[in-house]
């Protein structure tokens, strides 16, 4: 009756390993966006943490425009990170042998 517990345990262990690999892969990626025709350049890692910010000197005298461009750049970068995380998660789900390649969230 409980003969498949070992198989389930191995499958769960494999899923945990895959999740850890996926997380490390996501964190290692870098996403860069430009705003205001390149006057603002923002880079974030796969976790959404800002790792670099370049502001053109000409923006330093226009606080309002600087704020608008920074907000736009941050929002664009966050969207890129979220989209990458969703794509990676969906790829991991469709690639799992235990799910038979089925995508439980919709068709391909």
Domain boundaries, the chain: 29-93
Residue whose structure tokens are 């390993």: 17
103 against 83, higher pLDDT: 83
Is 3 a residue whose pLDDT tops 70?
A: no
Band of the pLDDT at 97, cuts 50, 70, 90? Answer: low
Quote the CA–CA distance of 3 and 78 in Å, as a whole number: 46
- Which CATH code for domain 29-93? 3.30.1310.10
Quote the CA–CA distance of 48 and 26 in Å, as a whole number: 10
């Amino acid at each position: 009756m409980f003969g498949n517990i070992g198989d389930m345990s191995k499958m769960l262990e494999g899923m945990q390993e895959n999740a850890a690999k996926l997380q490390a892969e996501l964190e290692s990626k870098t996403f860069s966006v430009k705003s205001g025709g390149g006057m603002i350049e923002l880079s974030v890692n796969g976790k959404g943490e800002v790792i670099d910010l370049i502001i053109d000197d000409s923006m330093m005298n226009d606080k309002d425009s600087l704020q608008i461009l920074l907000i736009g750049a941050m929002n664009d970068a966050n969207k890129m990170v979220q989209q990458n995380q969703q794509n990676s998660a969906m790829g991991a789900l469709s690639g799992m042998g235990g799910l038979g390649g089925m995508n439980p969230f919709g068709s391909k």
